[in-house]
Structure 1
Amino acid sequence: MPKLDDQYSFATWCKESLINFTEMNAEKQVFIGFVLAILIAAFIRIIEMTGGIPSLYEHLLYFPLVFTGLLLGPRIGALAGIMCGVLLSPFSFSDSLISSNEIAGGWILRLVAYTSVATIAGVISRVVKDLNKAEQNAKRKYQGTGLPNIDALLEQLKAIGHNQNGSPNDLVDIFNFRLQNMEKIQQQVGTEKANELVKQMAVQLKKLLGDQIHVGQTSKNELVGVSAEAEENTKELQQKIESFLEQPIVIDGVSYQMDSAAGVLRVKKDQLKDDHQKVFDEAQAHAFNALQKKQQFSFLEQSDNAIEQIEEVSFSRQFNEAMKNNDIQLYYQPRLNTNTGYFSVLEISAKWVHPKRGNMELVEFKPMIEEASLTQQFTSWMIQRTFKDLKVWQKQKVTVRVSINITINDIVDPIVLNVLAHELQETKFPARHINIEVSERALMSLPDKSKRYLERLRSVGCNVIASHFGEGRSTIQSLFVLPVDAVKLSEELVQKATSHSDKKRELASMVKMARARGLTTIATGINDRAKLLLLKQIGCEELQGSILSKSLKKSDIPWARIR
């Protein structure tokens, strides 16, 4: 039952009541249909016996019949229409009413009308329900292969956890298969054939592990299986999986070798009842760790005593809980536009209120999330939380530009770019107000897929910034051929320019060349007046640093100084 303080409680109650009503068995629906028809007819008859109603209002009778058809379907709607027609026929009126009652006259036509209206409403209801059901089923399928998607798999895990059969200590295996060469295969054979390969792989996996396993797809290169009947013999399970990974997939007589790695997380059923989402995340993190370590197969049981595994899972759980409980919060550092004198951009960063280490800056806990392979998850979380704040500011009619660093570990992850694109689509936030910061090292080794995604985001209006420029070996000219709109100078480059005249001239030349090519120049680490004056003098367009403003909570953002 909805809580009283839920602002949508009444709507939720109506929706749940309607669903429960439509799921009643046929006998109850027929009974309610009869009752409704009798009540409608009795109501009209009372009105007629007390003097009648103006003809303008006679047709109000159709509204409850339409409601009956929509609620109970075409058969019960037709039954209600027939009952109304019969009950309002000359056979149910006294002789004194037949001659003067307008409803009684032409009652056969009215019988047809009542039945038709209720039946048509029922047909419409049935079509809408079928379309809605098809839509819900489509939302639970992975586009292209039709396999259960991540939402369906999470529901399955939740159902297993709440299943009353068996013991809470029953073991459940979560299989995670990473298809490393899927992108290459898709380029060779096309998307349709690649989807067939994934579907065939899912079929063979079910044959191998039994029909009790639920196999789904969470991304183009990831299959996930859930088995509520874990095998006791882990060595035999390992042999099965390794044999499966080595066998090629055959489609139309052609063999394809899938370069795959697998991770299996074994948990107790009771753990799924408490938090199935967290367990699923741990399974994915475990599989990703195995992939990073180049292990073809990795098995982890949450009761294992291996210290390293326990630490990894413990940190992963702790970090996820910190994000969930808002112990990790976003901070916004304003960036000054030297042309206007106002702050023009808010750069996103994060701080973690750690229970033992106190307040930790991103640079402090960055190595820990890299070691635990949580950079993708954390970066996606930062993007989602940023857009959550942007939606609030949008409603408040506040215009602001933000800058998000997506390369914490100097890798441009296509999944992170997809998360960003999804948030843009969902929130309808202007893409021109989004700056995507990509480190210089990441840009120099940009995979084709990531480069393609960045170019698409640029095409809709996002600005790409080459950040930490000067830390690598690339030159300003090498950036001109990359999908970038701005260059962000490293603190080291700025520091050297303030103490060496040659470095100052080099920096000034670099800024001039970038501006000539249409690139915005940004400097960071401005912590004293000398750097501030130097960068204004050489024409750097945007400045950021502690002398201008530190990173702020969203409640402390100086909106009056932002343009």
Structure 2
Amino acid sequence: MPHPVFNWTYLSTRFRFRSLESRIVTLFLFLIVVVQVVGLVVIQHGIDNNARTAISSELNNGTKVFRRLLDQNAQSLRFGARLLARDTAFVAAIGNNDESDRATIESALANSGRRIKASLSMLIGDDRKISATTNPAQSAGLEKIALSMLDAAEAADGAIGVAIVDHRPFQIVAMPIKAPVTIGWIVMTFPIDRQLANDMREVTSLHTSVLTRDSKGKWLPVGSTFVGPSAQAVVDQLQALPAAPAGPFDIMVETTQYSARLMSIGEDNGQNASVVLARSIDEATAEYRRLERWLIGLTLGGIIASAIAIVFTAKRIAQPISELAVTAKRLEGGDYKVVIDSRREDEIGQLAHAFDAMREGIAKREQEIRRLAYWDTLTNLPNRAQFVLLLNDALHDARGREEDLFVLMMDLDRFKHVNDVMGHSFGDSLLRQVAGRLQLLLANRRQSSAQVARLGGDEFAVLLPATNLDSAQMMAAEILAALETPLSLEDQMVDIGAGLGIAGYPEHADDGETLLSMAEVAMYTAKQRNDGAVVYDAAMDKGSAKSLSLLTELRNAIERDEFRLHVQPKISLQTGRVVGMESLVRWVHPERGNVFPDEFIPFAEQTGFIRILTRWVMEKSAELCRELASKGHHLKVSVNLSTRDLLDQDLPAKFADLLARHKLTPGSFCLEITESAIMDDPVRAQNTLERLSSMGLDLSIDDFGTGYSSLAYLKRLPVNELKIDKSFVLNMEKDEGDTKIVRSTIDLGHNMGLRVVAEGIESEAVWRLLAELGCDQGQGYFMSRPIPGDQLIPWLEKWRAPIAIGAQAEPVVDVSYAK
């Protein structure tokens, strides 16, 4: 006799006598078939709608992207035109109104247009006539619209529009030239053509066609990502439409159907410039069609599998299922002690056995999850979450008993260095030993209610209930003393310390998270001051809150052009000649006014923003150096480099690019580095300095004498200059000790073949004394305070060295780069 599983006659006979099972099978089969069919129909309909919706969304987004591309090109034109309009030499050439300056004007127009890839640059004089152009033929076609934009450009400091010349659209920008009244206008154009369509295609994957429509309604192609006949097919189908469509419409290109959208980008003298964005419907729905076929197959397979499963399980699921459902409800409620009857030998018995195993597994895992959630697996101490719970419970008790409570938070010193040198396994062992030492300390003091926890990384915290401030500080001192005792690990002696912060209830805060945060602020203050243990003070947080917004303001300052380049001249002390200048940055904040460098430079170095600021100073210094050279003033410009700049291995390449762009020689720059910046990472710093020196750039040690560098190490550095810190120069005529230090530094520098520069010269007596000691150059308030870069040329023309020192009474500006 055939096996009952495959004997359908046997099964049909069984179902006739067991009507409940037959009804279950019939009902579920019917429901499954109906649900699957209805679901399939709904999904098919949804696929079509979703595909159309997705395409429509792509086209809408495409219009936004294309407008953004147009805006970017317009801003590029406007920026380029503004730079040229504010170029001092260019404005001066226009203002001279001399035929000899015409070549300069045309060259400036061509160079500026080439940099921003403009197709046309032209100058319109104050008589509103074109006086210079890079494309005479195109200028004639654009003259009318350009003249119509002049008034708007003057009123709004620039105007942007769209022009159509010979059925080709162009973006056009007009920018007034003021000195200070308007003496002319710069007009630049950017073609809206196939290149822009290709850019759009790369960004959005949409086919893009640029068209124009003349005054008679005829569409003409300009540029398209479609090739050959396909591009013309778009124009032909658009021409066949009775009117320009306002929303999405379908077109057929060769054998592919596309959904398209027409976007107008400008009008000029009855002509219209538009863009057609198209998305292939077949491509958009390809993935959906494959999904649809999979759904049909899965639906049929699901119906067959369900029918078989229902037939063989219906007779066994009716009776015991309710009992298991009740059991499941109890498990859902967290009752893991419920007894599940699993004595049956059939499938229900196995299911009951599985429920029982699941109950035990869930109970064990929940217990383990709770342990992992609230306990540190490395040290077996409470973690941050558990510590906050303990702290909140302790705070509740402290309020009821009107007692004080203190939290100590510590962060280990040099732990990252231990991890980097010895490895993470060694670091984990170190953390376990620290945890054990803290637990032993609390046990020896019989602080039964105290609790130590590891908050994460190398941070630990101690909870001290029912404790006053003196006791908390005493405990902090004992902890620091215990941590300062060297640890022995794997035959290695490790010296560690910690910064420790103290915060307490009710003096500082009355909730756990705030109290912990205040202890953390005090801890970081302790690490910054190298002060051991520090009690929280509200003044500490003000600086932190201010720092949170400072980085954003610094970034905005770059974008809003709030920084200003100042320079301080460097003078030869023997001849009185101006031989160089030091570049300095000033911040003109729209609300705070002038922000001193001491307020933002240290923060910029901490956050890494100093690299962006250094690049800004380099760029502005190069521009000023080039301008000075064009006026015959060949000065060496000094730029300060920070620690982060020295660690930037791409710095030499950035300088090479800067020199090439501004057509400057390496001898135009002297890079100033502090001793502390070099000693933070001597190997990487020396590598960077050697590469810069090999390029021909001069290098200077700034603030010499205030750092901690080794002379033996400095001897190996490829430097050209030493700058004596102003703290030794300011009072040297009155302080014999300072004079001796300066004399020794000058002799040291000369013996090493270096030129020596003194900072902080504020009197003629100091100048004279430095000159007698053989100091090469100097800078200070006696000669000039830092002045804006654009005021340097007038200052150079007025500069006179003191008669008693300088040999000349006329302006003296050194044109050499001699040491």
TM-score bracket relative to the smaller structure:
0.3 to 0.5
Greater Rg over alpha carbons, structure: 2
Q: How does the TM-score come out when normalised to structure 2?
A: 0.33
Greater strand proportion: 2
Structure having greater relative contact order (Cα 8 Å, sep ≥ 6): 1
